Amino acid sequence: MWVFYLISLPLTLGMVTVTLRYFAGPHVPKYVIFTVGYAWFCSISIIILVPADIWTTIIGHDKGGIAFFWSWSYWSTFILTWAVVPTIQGYEDAGDFTMSERLKTSIRANLVFYICVGSIGLLGLILLIIMRGKWSGGILGFAMACSNTFGLVTGAFLLGFGLSEIPKSIWKNADWSNRQKVLSHRVAKMAVKLDDAHQEFSNAIVVAQATSNQMSKRDPLRPYMDVIDNMLLQMLREDPSFKPQGGRLGENDMDYDTDDKTMAALRRQLRRAQEEYYRYKSEYMTCVMDALELEDTIKNYEHRDSTGWKYVSSFRGSRMGTLGSFLDMIELLWRCILRMQLEKVLAVILGCMSAAILLAEATILPSGVDLSLFSILINAVGKQEMLVQIAAFVPLMYMCICTYYSLFKVGMLMFYSLTPRQTSSVSLLMICSMVARYAPPISYNFLNLIRLDGNAKTTFEKRMGNIDDAVPFFGKGFNKIYPLIMVIYTLLVASNFFGRVIDRVVDFLGSWKWFKFQTEEPDVDGLDPSGVIILQRGKEVLA
């Protein structure tokens, strides 16, 4: 048991560190990075513990160590998700000028949220008492089971979307023609978003400068304005190339100098406008570089014989010397031949794994038949420690990737963003809260797919709480019925049923085009003309 765990923990710590350094923005405080890193580490530790828990259950070993690490990981994520992270997130999002005021703003906002959630929980507790006077596990078991139920229900739809979209998107990306069309549309779309973000940032700067100019030095709010002025100077000093253009004043833009709360709102608006601009700038540059590299790949493949099977970049100098020629040849083989084939093979493998997970989910209900490939595989390898843990870890990690993929897709449309080196503190904290919230339910769902010999129960299952007993108003056998709903939903997503329904609704509604759901990669018939022009200009700049 400990061999797998001792290898996995350092790898997990390294992966979390590298991921944080890659995504965290330049102004993210160290305490935020530590909090996010610790939350991610604890969340992944839960996932790593599941294979070890399965192994100790199979051999009947003492589970004291597993129970300790499970409690440490679970309660760390629980406290971080529901108390620590929301408080820090509200503190980072507040525009107040002192630590105490920012903390008060955060606590006030979180109290409103928890009063609403607490009211719903109290109503559920009253219903439970009315329906059944007692329940196994006590109040703590009831809270854990309710939290797990929420994660299982919402996580099922996130998992189903990822099981369908990840293999499909990898397969589509292997098609150069399709990807070139998608990237041209995405570049055009990101250019519009970047232009809007530039306008918003320019407006925020103009409003701040105008407010500062009309405020006298004896104004009681002048110290707050001086903080905003220094913040603005620091922004412009960090990026001298940024030039505010077209900033406009609205009707209420000169009302910020009325009290300290409006000044805090002005500071918050300026910071948010800056973060949004650089986020879109980073995403825009990434899209442009991806499109230009794809164009180079296609050209190199078509002219591979004339170039002597050497990769020639249109915006990067050629490598020198014998080793340089060898590296150019290796790069051409990778980009033009191997990468496409590997992507197709990976898409097929992940598609098969998705099908195996759906089959296992669909056959949870029949008690006499075990059609779960993972259950059969784990029981077949018997007491070979490493094989058991690998057989459990690989599908579990894939389920986590599918769930978090969907979570990030949904969040980027509405709540937060995950942008390389430009992710703000608020987005990082919200993402870490979501990751921590879904790690236990995903693990619990996976354990439901496995039937160990003798129907032995893992420590994870024993400590997590029984949904059937703790939440009776969901119905007996709820944790075996909800996967069937997820399977049906996944099949509908894979067949693009929802897309066709929405298209028909949009066509029926006529001019209500705002109702149409906008996806990251829409179906396209050809290259976007504006995207092609932008890429041509980008190529000229880089050449």
| Cα gap 389→384, rounded to integer Å | 9
Mind listing the pLDDT tens digit for each residue in 151-173?
778 888 899 999 999 999 999 99
Domain ranges for the chain: 2-159+353-490
DSSP 423: B
Quick one: tokens of 23?
């995504």
Asked whether 322 and 138 are in contact (CB, 8 A), the reply is: no
24 three-class SS: strand
| Cα gap 244→264, rounded to integer Å | 22
Amino acid in position 393: F
Annotate 51-72 with DSSP letters as a single string: HHHHHHHHHT---HHHHHHHHH
Bridge partners, 24 (sequence order): 423
Can you give the pLDDT at residue 104?
A: 94
Question: Any idea which residue has 């990075």 for tokens?
Answer: 33
Those residues whose C-beta lies under 8 Å from the C-beta of residue 188, and which sit 6 or more positions away, are 528, 530, 531, 534
Mind listing the pLDDT tens digit for each residue in 80-117?
988 899 999 999 999 999 999 999 999 999 998 888 87
Asked whether 244 and 206 are in contact (CB, 8 A), the reply is: yes
- pLDDT tier for residue 20 given thresholds of 50, 70 and 90: very high
Count of positions (residues) in the chain: 543
| Cα gap 51→69, rounded to integer Å | 13
Asked whether 465 and 141 are in contact (CB, 8 A), the reply is: yes
Can you give the pLDDT at residue 477?
A: 61
Can you give the pLDDT at residue 139?
A: 59
CB atoms within 10 A of CB 199: 17
Mind listing the pLDDT tens digit for each residue in 170-206?
999 999 999 999 999 999 999 999 999 999 999 999 9
Best mean pLDDT range from 72-81, 188-197, 208-217: 188-197
CB atoms within 10 A of CB 163: 29
| Cα gap 476→464, rounded to integer Å | 17
| Cα gap 435→158, rounded to integer Å | 12
